[in-house]
Chain A
Amino acid sequence: MKSKQLKSKPLLTFLTLLTMLLFILPVQAAEILREIQPAEPAVQDSIEVKINLLHDGQQPAQYEIEERLPTDVQLLNPAQPTEIRQQDGIKNVAFLKWKIQGEPQKITSVSYTITAARPGVITFLPARAIQEDGSVLLGQGNELLVKCKPNNQCEKQENYLNCPQDCSPAAADGICNPSPDSMCDEDCTPGADIDCKPASKSYTWLWYLLSGIIILGIILFAIKLLKSREQPQQPSQQPQPTQQPPQQPQDPLAGFPGSRNL
């Protein structure tokens, strides 16, 4: 019994060590954060996006960082995305990917540069860090307001939210601004903007009704007129009365030339 215990001791130590080692190996915590500079860019400005990954594990580890590019931007550096996919009708879903090695307690950063062609909100989806075992670490999403370059004209892509310098709060920019500012915004549904006077009552329907009545009257009149024109021919079509009309008294000179037109 004792010898059996002695024999099993090194095996037990080995198994304990093995278990400990196996526990240590997969502990690979990480954090991911995106930084965007500048914080308030304007159209055509160069925007640098940096993805920072903190590898919190004890051993170095490999990560694949996947960044999906927003649709409204142009990539400057690198010149081309790593991958382009199609999602139903949307053809250019672009991704940037990096394989990086995370060193213990170190932050590894990758970056790329974009520019926005039009003003508005650019939405960045959470960046993904995919570990070798397939587990996915998600970062935070970001939103960046790209401002316009003012030129005193409220252009197609601009509105009072992304270009207040060019677009007045009541600009026809597709967005209702109901705030009481003494300006009626035509983008608002009736009643939404108290600055808009209630539309004067439309009498268009009355015109349609009158026109209809007049046209109907003309048609009826025309029909009546046609009927009245047709009336002289009607006797011939009607059956002859059975009684002969009273005959005129015979002219005694009838038949003699020049008897009438003298």
Chain B
Amino acid sequence: MRWLFFCIVLLSLLALTPVQAQENCAVDGSCPQTATQESSDLNLINNPPLVVEIPQITTPFNLDLKLYAVDPENQPMTFVFESTLTSTYSSGMASCSLQSSLLSCLSGSTSGFDKLTILVSDGMKTTPLAINIFNEAASAVSINLPPQANAGQDISAFPGHRVLLDATKTTDPNNDLVFQESSFIWKLNNEELGRGLTLLQRFDKPGAYTIDLEVTDAAGLLGKDQAVVFIQEKTSCRNTTAIYFPLDTSCQTQWPTQEGELIVMNTRSPSCSLVEVCSPELDPMIEEVLDCCDGTPLKDPKKSQACNFANKYSQGSNKRCQALYAVKAVGDSAIYMQDYFEAEMCCYGVEAICNKKTNFYKALPTPRTNKPSSQQLLCKTTPDNHILGTWLSDSIMSYNNIALQDVHAAATLTVLGTGTCVDYSVALVTLLRKLGYSNDEVFIAEASNHAYTIIRLPLDRKYHIVDTTGNKAPSIVLGNVPQGYPYCENIQNCYNDLGKQLCPELKSIVGCEGIRESFTRKTSRFSFKAQKLVKGVTELFVEEVKR
């Protein structure tokens, strides 16, 4: 009897296993929409090795390629030169060899640039890794001379900043310097700080720190240089522990604060509270951006792809690389934010954007993000009590009402991990401002039914429009405007942590050149300038009177 009972339970359990569909169908019921295939070839799901762009290197050098290549499946990788398909390569500029993942290049007799391509294989798939090398032909020197140590330029930073000591410009007249960690010793007050071609340091107290670099070549000859690190007192964000902040901000505290100008998009918020440049919670993201752009390899495949894009289109500008990585991370690489926060619209009953009527006045659909808090949200707006939402707590989700509200940047990025157009733009502008973009370089652009970002990338004369909403792909189109919305025509107002700002003229935005500005926009620009002028003069007058 007991066994019979057991068998029944067992059969019932088996019956509970997933219901098998008759065939593979599209969700809308049209079966089959496109061809589906079945295979046992594991090659089909093998990711090729991912490689990180290598900055230009001057010969001679030793480089561990494992720092610049990662296999998502952790399969062992092999490296060969593309031109020879062996482990050796020689040209007038350099002669190189590969020992496992260690690439060693010696200077050739001809000066100039050379491009090496190394094939990285995981046994199934291969990825090319390009390296640009530069050979400065050394003059024939008969006697051995010490290396010419170069500790880089003096650095100015704030307490806690990540300071990169860089000796990559060091040369040796005899080419007998081995570019390995032990050849480069960094010292402060005769005490060793660390070793390596580059070294990351932090200084917590303001002051001038003189750093000594000692470089030893193969013959034991020593070259020396110095660099001074000036650590300044914090000028902004004094009431927070934030270590990265814009120099031209007036904000001193993080959310919740009444600092800044009151700005209105979906809800009213003080600009320093919304564009939260003083938030220390966002500093780890800033450090990740800095890592990407100073050559520190990012091992996460998702991040390394975004980082590759940023380095590839950086045109050699570190700051440009940082902006591109931030755009990808918030936007189409979906690293810091994922999905579109449709529930915010459904909770307020916005018919045009809430795709299912059954979700009206509910915290649904649940956003698909990697943040657990985003699964515990509440909607307190009802048809009878049609109120805008408020964000009151970053830790207790039940205090918040998500109905169409503008959330401060730190909560968007670290608590929710999702948002609507305003949230995406606020998050990106906050990161860019913390990265040092000035108040006339980056703005949240408010349009009639949308919001996006305007940024002037370093080197470029004109601004680019960027739309990261819901991980829109592509979020940035270099040399043009993203597709899918009349971005140029609909710009109404521009904001950042300093409040309402003057929007760039359409002729100064890439892709908007041919579009005529409306009369109202022109007059609003004039009145904005006049208001600023009057405000400035009044402030000066008041100051004089006080004096």
A-side residues, CB < 8 A to B, are: 10, 14, 17-18, 21, 25, 31-33, 35, 52-54, 59-62, 64, 68, 70-72, 77-78, 82-83, 85-93, 96-101, 103, 105-112, 120-126, 128, 132, 136, 140-141, 143, 156-157, 159, 161, 173-179, 186-189, 192
Contacting residues, chain B, for A72 (C-beta < 8 A): 474, 477, 483
Partner of B305, one of A18, A78, A141: A141
Of A100, A132, A157, which is within 8 A of B24 by CB? Answer: A100
Q: Provide the residues of chain A in CB contact with B40, threshold 8 Å.
A: 105-107
How large, as a class, is the contact surface on chain B? Answer: 35 or more
Question: A97-B28, A187-B461 are contacts. A140–B302 as well, Cβ < 8 Å?
Answer: yes
Q: A32-B45, A100-B36, A140-B302 are in contact. Are A89 and B28 (CB under 8 A)?
A: no
Chain A residues whose C-beta falls within 8 Å of the C-beta of B353 in the assembled complex: 86-88
Could you tell me the distance between the alpha carbons of A244 and B462 in the complex, rounded to whole angstroms?
Answer: 81
Which of A18, A33, A71, A121 has a CB less than 8 Å from the CB of B44?
A: A33
Instruction: Flag if A107 contacts B460 (CB, 8 Å).
Output: no
What chain B residues lie within 8 Å of A179 (beta carbons)? 315
Given A97-B26, A106-B38, A140-B301; 14 other pairs, CB 8 A cutoff = A14-B2, A71-B473, A82-B28, A88-B450, A89-B490, A91-B485, A93-B340, A98-B26, A106-B39, A110-B36, A121-B478, A123-B473, A125-B334, A141-B333
With A and B bound together, what is the CA distance between A99 and B471 in angstroms? 23
Q: Which residues of B contact A83 (CB under 8 A)?
A: 27-28
Select A176's contact among B17, B24, B25, B461, beta carbons within 8 Å: B461
A35, A64, A128, A143 — most chain B CB neighbours (10 Å): A143
Q: Is the CB of B460 within 8 A of A187?
A: yes
By a beta-carbon cutoff of 8 Å, the part of chain B in contact with chain A is 2-3, 6, 9-10, 13, 17-21, 23-28, 33-42, 44-47, 72, 301-302, 305, 309, 313, 315-316, 332-334, 340, 342, 352-353, 355, 368, 420-421, 447-451, 458-462, 464, 467, 469-475, 477-480, 482-485, 490, 510-511
Are A31 and B45 in touch, CB under 8 angstroms? yes
B348 to chain A, nearest CB (A): 13
Q: Is the CB of A87 within 8 A of B469?
A: yes
A91 to chain B: which residues have CB within 8 Å? 484-485
- Report how far A90 CA is from B450 CA in the complex, Å: 8
> Given A82-B26, A98-B27, are A88 and B18 neighbors across the interface (CB < 8 Å)?
no
Q: Is the CB of B460 within 8 A of A175?
A: yes
> How would you classify the secondary structure of chain B's contact residues: helix, strand, loop or mixed?
loop
Q: Evaluate contact between A71 and B474: CB separation under 8 angstroms.
A: yes
Contact check, B6 vs A14: say whether CB atoms are below 8 A apart. Answer: yes
Which 8 A-B pairs give the minimum distances between C-beta atoms?
A89-B450, A174-B510, A174-B479, A97-B27, A123-B473, A88-B421, A159-B479, A176-B459
Alpha-carbon separation in the docked complex, A85 to B341 (Å)? 12
- Given contacts A21-B10, A90-B469, A103-B38, whether A60 and B511 have CB atoms under 8 Å apart is no
**B3 and chain A: residue at smallest CB distance:** A10
- Across-interface contacts of A187 in B (CB, < 8 A): 460-462
B340, B449, B459, B482: the one within 8 Å of A192 (CB): B459
Q: How far is the CA of A83 from the CA of B342 in the complex (A)?
A: 15
Nearest neighbor of A99 in chain B, beta-carbon distance: B25
Determine the distance from Cα of A148 to Cα of B28 in the docked complex, in whole angstroms. 35
Chain A residues whose C-beta falls within 8 Å of the C-beta of B475 in the assembled complex: 123
Kindly provide the distance from the CB of B115 to the nearest chain A CB, expressed in whole angstroms.
Answer: 14
A107 to B2, CA, bound (A): 41
In the complex, the answer to whether A157 meets B480 with C-beta atoms within 8 Å is yes
A188 with B18: CB separation less than 8 A: no
Instruction: Indicate which residue in A32, A88, A121, A159 contacts B474 across the interface (CB closer than 8 Å).
Output: A121
Q: Are B478 and A159 in contact, with the CB atoms below 8 A?
A: yes
Quick check: B447 and A89 within 8 Å, CB to CB?
A: yes
Contact status B449-A89, CB under 8 Å: yes
Task: Give the docked Cα–Cα distance between A78 and B32 (Å).
Answer: 10
